[in-house]
Amino acid sequence: IPNVLDRYPHQLSGGQMQRVMIAMAMSIDPDLIVADEITTGLDAAIKMEILNLLFSFQKESHFSVLLISHDIKSVQKYCDRVVLLKSGKTKDNSVASVQGERTSYENQKNFKNNKIKKSEKEQSIILEVKHLCKTYGVGEDSVQALKKINLELYKGETLGVIGESGSGKTTLVKSMINILNRESGELIFYENSNPQILNKPNPRLGVVFQDSQGSLNPKMKIFDTLKEPLWLSGETNNQSIQKKILDQIIKVDLDKVLLDAFPHELSGGQRQRVSIARSLLLNPSIIVLDEPTSALDIKTQGKILSLLLNIQKQKKLSYVLISHDLEVIAKMADRIAVLYKGRIVESGSVKHILSHPSNDYTKKLITSNSWMNL
């Protein structure tokens, strides 16, 4: 990476940050490296690169690694011995029992997909992204993160956007919700009959980010976190605020006692439910979901995804679902767009793209995802 030493962490991709962490851990020539969920949230190809990197250093320097992971597939590939931790207790440490556990996790992953399939004709466009470009920085060090992105989102559908780490997914999300200045391009919102050009954040477009811890203010109780969007939108009636928050909490299946808690007192899954509740409070018609389940274990991931499907059905919402996980996209999305180095290289129905990918990068993506399915 050019000038990596001059960059701040937010200017690096997830994979790049983990390389920095590995360099830091190695710098004191340790005997043991504790690797706590180091590939969570990375896509399959980068995941493999990072783990290969760490374990290639292990071959040279002979340190021990304690790999903590909810990803049983990488544990199987890289570890000599396995200990299973469940409800604070260690279980049998044979690889075979882990394999059994894996099967039961896999089964839990098969949540019900009760999406209503619509014919193309019934669909009307709700959002159009036209020639969107975004470059970070200037001169030699500049990064062209998005290059002329064109996308259409239909009412009630889920558009899956898939791409490797650094392909521009988060930049696309931030541009779509207008929290990042774009260089050029247009966002057109067709809520009513007259199209509206969006140049600032709009309450009809909600968002859920990957990092549930980072997206909730650690100093604010959940109630205040949920109150904030209502308050910012000009709602001042305390009773009505309270009612809206309680209604929403029920919809995302959270106990109301949690309203009095701080984010760190919640599990990752609960925090993601709070983020979903918050995105729903202003009654959006579109929600942009940036890797909403990548940091969660398989079981919780399945639950959050089925919650999202139910909410979508009830409210006829349109989703833009960003993920590096083909399995998630295959189950959730109606259509798919493949993002590679800032460009949409392929798009179409999920079924078509997954069975007949025409782009080389898409083919590679599908193969690297199946590597994780070993």
Q: Which one of ligand ADP, Mg ion, none is in contact with 167 (Cβ closer than 5 to 8 A by kind)?
A: ligand ADP
Q: Cβ of residue 170: shortest distance to Mg ion, in angstroms?
A: 3
Q: Is 258 helix (H, G, I), strand (E, B) or coil?
A: helix
Pick the closer one to ligand ADP by CB: 6 or 29: 6
Q: Which one of ligand ADP, Mg ion, none is in contact with 11 (Cβ closer than 5 to 8 A by kind)?
A: ligand ADP
Choose the stretch contacting Mg ion; rule: CB under 5 A; options: 116-124, 162-170, 211-219, 243-251.
Answer: 162-170
Q: Is 371 helix (H, G, I), strand (E, B) or coil?
A: helix
Q: Which one of ligand ADP, Mg ion, none is in contact with 248 (Cβ closer than 5 to 8 A by kind)?
A: none
Q: Does 18 bind Mg ion (CB under 5 A)?
A: no
Instruction: Please say whether the beta carbons of 160 and 332 come within 8 A.
Output: yes
Q: Cβ of residue 290: shortest distance to Mg ion, in angstroms?
A: 6
Q: Which of residues 244-283 bind Mg ion (CB under 5 A)?
A: none
Q: Is 168 helix (H, G, I), strand (E, B) or coil?
A: coil
Instruction: Please say whether the beta carbons of 114 and 305 come within 8 A.
Output: no
Q: Which one of ligand ADP, Mg ion, none is in contact with 335 (Cβ closer than 5 to 8 A by kind)?
A: none
Q: Which one of Mg ion, ligand ADP, none is in contact with 158 (Cβ closer than 5 to 8 A by kind)?
A: none
Tokens at 21, concatenated: 């962490």
Alpha helices in 114-262 (DSSP H): 169-176, 212-215, 222-232, 238-251
* Residues of the chain by 3-state class (helix, strand, coil), percent to 5: 45, 20, 35
Question: Contact residues for ligand ADP (CB under 6 A)?
Answer: 10-13, 136-137, 143, 145, 163, 165-171
Contacts of 314 (CB under 8 A, 6+ apart): none
Tokens at 160, concatenated: 């899956």
Pick the closer one to ligand ADP by CB: 141 or 260: 141
Q: Does 170 bind Mg ion (CB under 5 A)?
A: yes
Q: Cβ of residue 11: shortest distance to Mg ion, in angstroms?
A: 13
Pick the closer one to ligand ADP by CB: 248 or 272: 272
Query: How far apart, in whole angstroms, are the C-alpha atoms of residue 345 and residue 165?
Result: 15
Query: How far apart, in whole angstroms, are the C-alpha atoms of residue 338 and residue 332?
Result: 15
Q: Cβ of residue 169: shortest distance to Mg ion, in angstroms?
A: 5
For 289, the enclosing helix (H) or strand (E) is: strand 286-290
Pick the closer one to ligand ADP by CB: 48 or 254: 48
Cα 22 → chain centroid: 23
Q: Which of 71, 76, 46 is nearest to 364 (CA)?
A: 46
Pick the closer one to Mg ion by CB: 169 or 303: 169
Q: Which one of Mg ion, ligand ADP, none is in contact with 145 (Cβ closer than 5 to 8 A by kind)?
A: ligand ADP
**Residue 274 φ/ψ, nearest 5 degrees:** -65, -45
Choose the stretch contacting Mg ion; rule: CB under 5 A; options: 30-38, 119-127, 168-176, 198-206.
Answer: 168-176
Q: Does 169 bind Mg ion (CB under 5 A)?
A: yes
Rule CB under 5 A: which residues touch Mg ion?
A: 169-170
